[in-house]
A = this chain, B = another copy of it.
């Protein structure tokens, strides 16, 4: 079984019954679903009944690495957490890098399936092929860093990797996250709340097993070549992290500002990657086997205490807690990032939800009466920080925002819905669809709601030079970032297959093309060297395509319709200020693009996968699940 480079074992945990079982997974399942998102969907579709309460014991919480995770190559550090999302009510999935995924494999397991609810708080401890549930009553209520330290201490091993939730997850904040090593986040769709609903505080893993490789020399030679390419042209990802995006996006008029009213922020420079490097950055972190070191570690002493323990803000966080809230104070953003990390809440949804409230406040829909006295105005950093903490604690007005912008807006009423910018209940990440139409499609069509890594973004493919890295996908001609023709739909759908495959195989987007140094064909070579599968980009892209149709069916079962494949109205209105001032998306053109996507995917005009398309994707077993 080990010929294909993984253990082939999953762990099934029933928290209600306190049972733990091992199960061997047939190799064919790995080949068809790889791991991550697609493998999680396989189990969710097989084992989760539709319409269950996402925060009830029936929900199935899955941690899934891939057949290749933890093999010694840059990028294969990521793992998926999946469940029915309490934020969207549909397929919930988020990946994280770091060290936890590889360590799970070293400990002998590829995935963990968790159902039920523990009577009292517990954590799961997996070591070298053995697993046990341990009491976590003393950890309940602890912040992330404290929890992390206490578990390591009580298990007596500093090399244990821990995925955990903070008080936000315990209190069922609908966008609570899960973190590992305090700095790597399964950020979105509220999976921390699912974990909290099960009374599961953490999963600690430790193992000594090394991943076998089918053709070790070949694998090493592929990695060596990629690393040499990287060394020759390292780019700025290591130096500036994802925050390198702030200045170019602002210059392009697509840095989300003041709840997406504008794409241009007058204080962009104060919060950009270069400023971070020159001021608060103290170290660069990384993930398993990766030389890029894109993660930030920042330290602030005054006026806030920010500890490098929680890493530092990514671009998404900087924009969400910064420009989106009109805040140009990097230290405040770093502090907000730390609070989110400590309480275990998603920085993107936190920032977006606060920005939504700020716009409502500015419009008079909310007043200090509602907010408990907080002047929730754009640009008010203190107000932002107070709200972040209140959300993490579900305290006061934070208790309402902890429901997410969509539910909060419904409860507020008075037209607040117009300012809650979400798709399928998931608040928008920090990319402006009016300046990147493919991203707009990604937001509308991602099964997890607005998601910024559903596919790489349009501007990368607006020039021949930009296209070069994805030539193997058969995309040959450049396309304007503003194009919304069927050619853009094709580009998006191919890229979505591609990134779905990354998701399922647990590969970081910053290591492989178009962002990173690993070419498509080297990726295929590496997977073959690791597994012995003799796979191809054709087969791997088909895994990606398969994943979309599986997720679609998950959402159809939950009652989603084509009406949910939309963008908030704001994006059909003009951008204010900046390089793209006045730019808006044409709604009928957008609708047509969504319909074109359905056709390209082999779905009917309502977005329901056709029976024979399912068969083509080896998803015959989902035929009867389509409604």
Q: CA separation between A16 and B486, bound complex, in Å?
A: 41
Q: Which residue of B lies closest to A535 (CB)?
A: B472
- With A32-B476, A476-B32, A611-B599 in contact, is A616–B538 under 8 Å at CB? no
Q: Is the CB of B602 within 8 A of A615?
A: no
Q: CA separation between A561 and B612, bound complex, in Å?
A: 20
Q: Which residue of B lies closest to A623 (CB)?
A: B486
Min CB gap A157→B, angstroms: 40
Q: Is the CB of B536 within 8 A of A620?
A: no
Q: Is the CB of B32 within 8 A of A620?
A: no
List of B residues within 8 angstroms of A452 by Cβ: none
Q: Which of A49-57, A519-527, A564-572 contacts B (4 or more CB under 8 A)?
A: A519-527
- With A536-B521, A538-B537, A602-B600 in contact, is A615–B472 under 8 Å at CB? no
Q: Which of A110-118, A162-170, A201-209, A487-495 contacts B (4 or more CB under 8 A)?
A: A487-495
Min CB gap A386→B, angstroms: 49
Q: Is the CB of A542 within 8 A of B474?
A: yes
Q: CA separation between A522 and B615, bound complex, in Å?
A: 29
Q: Is the CB of A615 within 8 A of B487?
A: yes
List of B residues within 8 angstroms of A595 by Cβ: 612
Counted per complex, copies of this chain come to 2
A residues 443-500 with Cβ under 8 Å of B?
A: 471-474, 476-477, 485-487, 489-490, 493
Interface range for A: 35 or more
Q: CA separation between A596 and B623, bound complex, in Å?
A: 13
Q: Is the CB of B620 within 8 A of A473?
A: no
Judged by a CB distance under 8 angstroms, whether A28 is at the interface is yes
Q: CA separation between A599 and B614, bound complex, in Å?
A: 10
Partner of A596, one of B485, B597, B615: B615
Judged by a CB distance under 8 angstroms, whether A533 is at the interface is yes
Q: Hey, which bits of chain A sit against chain B, CB under 8 A?
A: 28, 31-32, 471-474, 476-477, 485-487, 489-490, 493, 519-521, 524, 528, 533-539, 541-542, 595-600, 602, 610-613, 615-616, 618, 620
Contacts beyond the supplied A472-B536, A520-B534, A600-B615: 10 A-B pairs with Cβ under 8 Å: A471-B534, A471-B535, A473-B539, A486-B615, A487-B615, A521-B534, A595-B612, A596-B615, A599-B613, A600-B616
Q: List 30 A-B residue pairs with CB atoms under 8 Å apart, sorted by A's residue number.
A: A31-B476, A32-B476, A471-B535, A472-B534, A472-B536, A473-B538, A473-B539, A474-B539, A486-B612, A486-B615, A487-B618, A490-B615, A490-B616, A493-B616, A519-B534, A520-B536, A521-B524, A521-B534, A536-B538, A537-B538, A537-B539, A595-B612, A596-B611, A597-B612, A598-B612, A599-B612, A599-B616, A600-B612, A600-B613, A600-B616
